[in-house]
Chain A
């Protein structure tokens, strides 16, 4: 039977390989992204108003290479999560709903 649930959670893939690697990758990078995105929102919406994040503001931040690293990580992780997960999960969900297949294991069905 098709196990579409394996792409968006479900039981942990066993036996190593790309599937196991990607399963861990999205969860670990998700934790990093959680921290980065909250700091990003605080910096851009609380400590400074978005309308004040001018060219000079960006230049001032980028004088510090750590902010460049911060933004590079934020961009890479978020684009990779979005670009890799969105099409796969949306497609898998659409197929699963269209065919009315059982959605993976029991814990997955509660997710």
Chain B
């Protein structure tokens, strides 16, 4: 049986994340090629990545890359490790847990610049109010 089991989900996620990374890769080649137009145009382009929507899209990409990378290792282990087939379901669980565990610190670093001004404003408000009056 195949449909509805972990094998179907690992395969489906691998295809979806693979296609998402493919689409990003082509966009990324275009945005990096802006380097050939000089610093002014390239730096204007890079400024887009400071927007919250760009940061959220980055997080989606980071999840996709880590799932695809970890599941790729799982596929390689199934192919090359003698006991790989027997542990494939356990390894799928490890892939999911590892993706989430690695994603959390990345999410912190990617979102920190977006929320830092808000947090700083929240903490420095009394000082600021004091200074302005």
Question: Could you list which residues of chain A lie within 8 angstroms of chain B, going by C-beta atoms?
Answer: 9, 12, 27, 30-31, 33-34, 37-38, 41, 45-46, 49-51, 53-56, 58, 75, 78-79, 82, 85-86, 89-90, 93, 103, 107, 109-111
Cβ–Cβ contact B72 & A30, under 8 A? yes
| Secondary structure class of chain A's binding surface, majority of residues | helix
- Could you say which residues of chain B place their CB within 8 Å of the CB of A58? 35, 42
- Could you say which residues of chain A place their CB within 8 Å of the CB of B90? none
- In the assembly, what is the distance between CA of A55 and CA of B40, in Å? 8
Cβ–Cβ contact B43 & A86, under 8 A? no
A53-B65 CB under 8 A given contacts A27-B79, A103-B2: no
Interface pairs A-B: 4 shortest CB-CB? A51-B50, A55-B39, A110-B7, A50-B49
Known: A27-B79, A46-B109, A90-B15. 19 other contacts (CB 8 A): A9-B78, A12-B79, A38-B69, A41-B65, A45-B62, A50-B49, A51-B113, A53-B46, A55-B39, A58-B42, A78-B21, A78-B25, A85-B18, A107-B78, A110-B7, A110-B88, A110-B89, A111-B11, A111-B88
- In the assembly, what is the distance between CA of A50 and CA of B109, in Å? 10
Contact among B15, B19, B29, B39 with A56 in the assembled complex (CB-CB below 8 Å) = B39
In the complex formed, the residue of B with least CB distance to A79 is B25
